[in-house]
Structure 1
Amino acid sequence: MQSDPRPNFPTDHNAPAEWEVLNALIGEIYDSVLHPESWNETLARITGTLCPLSWEAAFILWESSNPPSARFVAATGLAAGVQEIYAAVYAGHHAWSRKLMRYGNGSVVDSFDIMARGEFAETEFFRNFLQPWGIDRLVAVLLDRRGGERLGLMLPGPGDRDVERLKRGLRVLAPHMQRAMRISDRIATLELATGAARIAADAAPFAIFSLDDQLNILAANARAGRYERAGFIRTAQNRFALTHPPSQKRLLDLVKSPEPAGLAFQAVGDADRECPVLVARVTRQSAQQLGGVRLGASLIVTLGSSPGETPVVEIDRVAQWFGLTPAEARLAVALAAGDTLQDYAALRAVSLNAVRFLLKGIFRKTGANSQAQLVALLARLPAPGDG
């Protein structure tokens, strides 16, 4: 069994809280931000270091009175089933909870200061829940508020013990616990957002690359590899390049010039196969890090199209050739691909009358008198590059 590398804390509960001891606890608190599973152990260190004898329980929870609810974040020293009973029966509406809701963030509150011991002894919460454990006092730290919920560190125990050392220590630890909880919440939010974005990118039916202004690959989704195997791109030394020299030149020109904001073109791969490419310039993000600034993406590149989706470059070509609006061009290309007016209306979540109105504009600008004529007209358009 490995020895515990953490510092040994004094067991003399009557000794003043040493600064080095509090500093060690502060370190453990911030370490728990990066390792949330260690919060229970951190609470055990706090109780073992600062609490008087027989004060062995501590927990962090979100609690609301309307509707009554409790969600335990971490706990130590609680008997089996206590969390479940508290959340189901007492959360949010016993005397301590209601009174603590009034205090501001960062407050260290002693239950003896908010309710007389004798008065509390008459409550149903004490008689039916806390009395078997000899608990009639609570020292709490109010950490955060979110809507109707309050986040707090709660340390209960018997009221015949001296808790001044505990309260002094908690006043030092309280601001650090507040910051730690907020940092932890921010990290969790970012991780969820990053995970959702990664899942969405991997589910996309085309390749997505995030590049810096040197065309270094910062991120790529799961479909990126198939476009390299098909001969459209190279990613040697984690650098992005289109194998089609004219396409690569267009990409490099975009990097060098502030205009335009994006490109849409057809890249060529092995066996002269074509692949639609969309490139969007993004405002480069930067983030401070230890030792300097880390720069983010400058370009977002996508390759390929969704099954059944016409490449944007084709829609643009039809729009420019006949002077159609983007909406008219999308409908014209969809009809040429075999869709019906009903199909297009359902796909775009618009009314059939709105689609018929677009079709009238297409007929007027192209000179076609029917859908069949329109399809034939689009089929005779010269291919890209034929002039």
Structure 2
Amino acid sequence: MKEDEMHDTIRALYQGIFDADAWQRSLAALCQSSGSVHAALVVRDTVRDRVLVNQVVNPVPEEVAAYRDYYEALDPAIPFVSQLTVGNWYIDSRELGEQAMRRLPFYGEFFRQFGLSSLMACLIERQPHYEVFLSLQRPEGGARYSTEDARALDWAIPHVRHAIALRDRTRQVSTLAHVSAELLERLPFAVIVFAEDGQVLLANHAGEAWSRRLMPVAAVGAGVGTARADEWRLSRPFPEVLRAAVDPTTVQPAQALRATGPDGREAQVVVLPLPAAHHLAVDWQHPAALVAVHEAGAPALGIAGVLRELYGLTPAEIRLANLLTTGIGLPEACEQLGIRRETSRTQLKAIFTKTGTGTQAQLAHLLTRLGVVLGAGQAPSGEQA
């Protein structure tokens, strides 16, 4: 392989961390330069003693299926590859010899059926539960692999190993980020991380809306201090609260303010400082603030099923419990539900008995804890599954 082709192959390996097509191009280049018809990454599960073939150049599904279903048990390479050290090669003609290869069913049946003649594989990575190999196969009629063929590819092995490690780490980080985002979206309240200049570093969907309410962009033509009719009113200017929270010269365990919507709804805004050493400030070491906004609104999605499974509450009891946790009194709850006062007292007594609570405050605290990862609801919880 020419030097510029080697550089292109190395570049494609690292581009393959994010681009599967680039990874395939690099394997195809190694395949072509070694006179191979197939190249693949092979993962051996050392716990279950099974082999998984993936990232194949010129894949033949029937070949992979035949190997998995029958010929894996006859593969003469397996006893040898388990003894390899990282970076070393298994070469069938060297380890088995020509005579053994001619009489083994693995070659006489399997390889002949799919037009193959020789195999070599390099151990790329060994972990407690799995091993990763770069496997190459030559077509029938070609020369057997030799030590020189393996040596000609040694330059690529460190790059393959590093690219795989980076790709695995990237996938782990990506998975963690995805799970973290899903978790944030499950929270029934807004979460925002503000930088000291008001920039939003992180937010869930509810937090995105609240970031615009807390740090609104001035409307064109609006006078200073002029509030729009549809704006939420804050008990304290949020920029001042944010500055206090991120001020490194003062210790502010928490800041809080009330927000009142145009329809009279209320929300509680809690602002907690994040120290300069937090992960989002690694590069610039600036403080930030974590903001949580709790709105009074619909009960959490799925809370009805949780209450039914844990405490055996009936749909009517669930509807009453959810209404009472919004802070309204029993008379208002009766009016909204269209039930008699005596009925509500009977239901409330049953709710307290079943849940082990004795006051509306205790009941509200219980439902808040149970619904913290269920997400905010839209419909009366008693009607949900």
- What TM-score do you get using the length of structure 2 for normalisation? 0.66
Number of residue pairs matched by the alignment: 304
Change (3 A) 1:346 1:164: farther
Q: Give the alignment of 1:17-166 within 5 angstroms.
A: 17-48=1-32, 50-52=33-35, 55-91=36-72, 94-157=75-138, 160-161=143-144, 163-164=146-147, 166=149
Change (3 A) 1:267 1:85: same
Shift of 1:192: 1.3
Change (3 A) 1:75 1:335: closer
Shift of 1:161: 4.2
Aligned to 2:366: none
**What is the aligned-residue identity percentage?**
14
Q: Give 2:292's match in structure 1, choosing from 284, 299, 302.
A: 302
SS for the counterpart of 1:34 is coil
Aligned to 2:251: 259
Q: Give the alignment of 1:171-182 within 5 angstroms.
A: 171-182=154-165
CA deviations on 1:40-60 (whole Å, 9 max, x unpaired) are: 332212111x213xx211111
SS for the counterpart of 1:236 is coil
Aligned to 2:194: 211
Task: Look up the equivalent residue of 2:40 and give its one-letter code.
Answer: F
Matches of 2:236 and 2:211 in 1, distance apart?
Answer: 17
Change (3 A) 1:216 1:122: same
SS for the counterpart of 2:191 is strand
> 1:261 touches 1:281 (CA, 8 Å); kept in 2?
yes
Matches of 1:253 and 1:189 in 2, distance apart?
Answer: 36
Matches of 1:268 and 1:192 in 2, distance apart?
Answer: 38
Shift of 1:301: 1.0
> 1:63 touches 1:71 (CA, 8 Å); kept in 2?
yes
Unaligned residue ranges in structure 2 (runs of 5+): 219-230, 301-323, 331-346, 364-385
Shift of 1:136: 4.1
SS for the counterpart of 1:81 is helix
CA deviations on 1:177-232 (whole Å, 9 max, x unpaired) are: 00000111111111111112222222332222122232211122212354468xx4
> 1:51 touches 1:163 (CA, 8 Å); kept in 2?
no
Unaligned residue ranges in structure 1 (runs of 5+): 1-16, 310-332, 360-370, 376-387
> 1:65 touches 1:93 (CA, 8 Å); kept in 2?
no
Matches of 1:244 and 1:209 in 2, distance apart?
Answer: 17
> 2:39 touches 2:136 (CA, 8 Å); kept in 1?
yes
SS for the counterpart of 2:70 is helix
Matches of 2:233 and 2:125 in 1, distance apart?
Answer: 54
SS for the counterpart of 2:77 is helix
Q: Give the alignment of 1:175-324 within 5 angstroms.
A: 175-227=158-210, 232-236=213-217, 244=234, 246=236, 248=238, 249-257=240-248, 259-270=251-262, 273-283=265-275, 284-285=277-278, 293=283, 298-305=288-295, 307-308=298-299
Matches of 1:63 and 1:150 in 2, distance apart?
Answer: 5
Task: Look up the equivalent residue of 1:141 and give its one-letter code.
Answer: C
> 1:60 touches 1:151 (CA, 8 Å); kept in 2?
yes
Change (3 A) 1:89 1:211: farther
> 1:57 touches 1:76 (CA, 8 Å); kept in 2?
yes
Aligned to 2:151: 168
Task: Look up the equivalent residue of 2:267 and give its one-letter code.
Answer: C
> 1:141 touches 1:170 (CA, 8 Å); kept in 2?
no
SS for the counterpart of 1:138 is strand
CA deviations on 1:116-163 (whole Å, 9 max, x unpaired) are: 232233333223311234534322121123333211110022573464
Matches of 1:33 and 1:100 in 2, distance apart?
Answer: 26
SS for the counterpart of 2:153 is helix
> 2:242 touches 2:289 (CA, 8 Å); kept in 1?
no
Matches of 1:342 and 1:296 in 2, distance apart?
Answer: 52
Matches of 2:77 and 2:177 in 1, distance apart?
Answer: 39
Aligned to 2:373: none
Task: Look up the equivalent residue of 2:173 and give its one-letter code.
Answer: L
Shift of 1:112: 2.9
Aligned to 1:324: none
Matches of 1:87 and 1:295 in 2, distance apart?
Answer: 53
Give the RMSD, CA atoms, in angstroms: 3.7
> 2:193 touches 2:200 (CA, 8 Å); kept in 1?
yes
> 1:277 touches 1:301 (CA, 8 Å); kept in 2?
yes
